[in-house]
Structures are given as structure tokens and as C-alpha cells.
Amino acid sequence: MDQLDLNLLIALDALLEENSVTAAAGRLHLSVPAMSRTLGRIRKTLGDPVLVRAGREMVPTPRALALRSRVHAVVEEAQALFSREAVPDPGALNRSFVLLAHDEIVHGVGPRLLARVREEAPGVALRFMAEAPTETAGLRHGDVALEIGEIGDAPPETTVEPLMRDRLVAVVRPGHALADGRMTARRFAAARHLSVSRRGRLEGPVDTALAARGLTRVVAASVPTFAAALFVVLGTDLVGMVPETLCRGSVAALGLTAFDIPADVPDIQISQAWHPRYDRDGAHAWLRERVREAVTQTRDGR
């Protein structure tokens, strides 16, 4: 292996295709003397003349003829190995992808994404998995193709692509006392609230915003997902908060009333994240583009 030089294979392939040192040199953009020296190294390595004079021409030896097709196949395989993967035909894909996504992503983006995938790539299956209460190494280990949602402290090697911004709005059941009348921060804080937290936290950014106004609220319960919050709100007098755009359809379907939160609550940044191992994966690149498209349609209400 110490004496193996794969560049010799490329030169040998050109020499056997051209049967000429001059033509092979031009094909590889080398000088004729450089190609002659390379032919000398090939002869020494193989223990065979490879090309010999026959009048004004050069002809391959029997050993060279026996090697020609094998050498060409190896060179083509090597070139394919180091070339960028072409974008595949989606209709020919037969693959499943694991997507780590909070439920508001599945509700808000999932139907559009699934419809497009079914249209373009019926052989592709999407496996939506709930976000864990604690950070996982799914992206790093290759168990997860994409994470979609609010990306927290991602590993440094992870690629994170912002997709859209959303904002929180308050939601209450039909007939709730807060469904009518002028909304103030004091009136809002005086109600009983529902928190959404994967970790069961009872406080969040809205409490920080209210505290800046000298107000506190009573949080009666927490649930792990926005979907759960919508149904709890529907059957109680609790005030919930959900992403406006992502949960627009669910809020309307349940007949809930949504209104602006009377406090400066930070927006939500929705992104998609993946491990660099998938940067050049054509099928994965196609999936990322479909996710971008579905998020944009959700954002624009299309």
C-alpha cells in the first residue's frame, strides 16, 4: 500500500483509451514528458510494458488489454464516489424519514407536507416523533433526519436553518369572560392560566413580561403540548397560549376565541435542523426543500 498511487490508475486508463502518450497527456492536461515518466512508473509497478511501438503507433500488450475494462471501471467508480450526489427522482424514492417535531408543527405544517410528499414521492414515509422532555442526540447519531420547531441549544456541528417567525396569542373557550371587552394587562393577569411546557414549568416569557409591569398571574396547571392546551382550554375557564399561525386551523376548528396578549412576549423562531452527514444527501435535500415549502404556505395561509 505504501507504493500504491491511485493517480496511476487514471493515467493508465487514459493511456489504454488513447494508445498514445501524446493524446493521453492532452486528455489529462499534462506535458508529454510528464506522461512519459508516468508511463515508466506504470511499467515498473505492473512489471509489463503496457504500450509498445508498432511502427508509428503504440499498441497495448496482452496484459494491458486484459486490464483495460477493469481499470476503466475502477476509475469510473472512483469518480462517482467523489462527485456530488445528484438530486434523485422523488418518484423513485423508497425511504422513511424520522422528523422530530412538536405537535403544533405536525398540526400546522404536517398536512401540507404530507400532501406534497404523497404527490411527488409516494414511496416516502414520514415518521413524526414527539420532542423529548430533555435534549436528545438523535440528530448526531443519525436516528433523526430533521428536527423542526424551536431549536434550543443544538450541538455545534448541527446545521440550523430559520424558516419562519410566529407569535403567541391567548385562547379561551367560547363564552369566556375574557372573550369580550377591552383587554388590559391587569385583566389578563387576573385570570387563571394554563402553561405549556415539556418540562412541566409553570412560568415562562409571559410571566417575565407581566413582571415588567408589576403584575403576576396564577398558573393553575401545565400541559406538555399545545394540542393538549387547546382541549383543556375548551373545557375549562383557563387561559391558554398557542402559536398564532401554526395553531390557526386548530383554534378555528374548536371554535376557540383568540386575542392578543397584552404584554411584550418574544416571538417564536421556527427552524429546521439536521446533521452535516446529510448535507450532500440528495433525498434529504429534497425533503428539506419540501419542509421549507410547507412552512412558507402555512405562514402565508395558502
Instruction: Tell me the three state secondary structure of residue 47.
Output: coil
Q: Tell me what the mean pLDDT of segment 113-117 comes to.
A: 96
Q: Are both 92-166+269-300 and 168-266 of the same fold?
A: yes
Q: How confident is the model at residue 56 (pLDDT cuts 50, 70, 90)?
A: confident
CATH class of 7-82: mainly alpha
Given this model, what pLDDT does residue 130 score? 81
Give yes or no for residue 22 having a pLDDT over 80: yes
Q: For 68-82, 93-107, 233-247, which range has the lowest pLDDT when averaged over its residues?
A: 68-82
Contacts of 287 (CB under 8 A, 6+ apart): 97, 124, 145, 146
Given this model, what pLDDT does residue 6 score? 77
What are the extents of the domains in the chain? 7-82, 92-166+269-300, 168-266
Q: Tell me what the mean pLDDT of segment 132-159 comes to.
A: 78
Q: For 71-80, 188-197, 224-233, 267-276, which range has the lowest pLDDT when averaged over its residues?
A: 71-80
- Residue-averaged pLDDT of the chain: 89
Given this model, what pLDDT does residue 175 score? 93
Rounded percentage of the chain residues whose pLDDT exceeds 90? 67
Given this model, what pLDDT does residue 268 score? 92
The fold adopted by the segment(s) 92-166+269-300 is: D-Maltodextrin-Binding Protein; domain 2 (3.40.190)
The angle that helices 282-300 and 110-120 make with each other, rounded to 10 degrees, is 130
Given this model, what pLDDT does residue 5 score? 74
In angstroms, the CA 298 to CA 250 distance is 13
Instruction: Tell me the three state secondary structure of residue 220.
Output: strand
Give yes or no for residue 84 having a pLDDT over 80: no
Q: Cα separations (Å) of 152 from 19, 65, 222, 263, 273?
A: 61, 60, 20, 23, 10
Does the pTM exceed 0.85? no
Tens digits of per-residue pLDDT, 151-207?
877 777 889 999 999 999 999 999 999 998 899 999 999 999 999 998 899 999 999
CATH class of 168-266: alpha beta
Given this model, what pLDDT does residue 154 score? 75
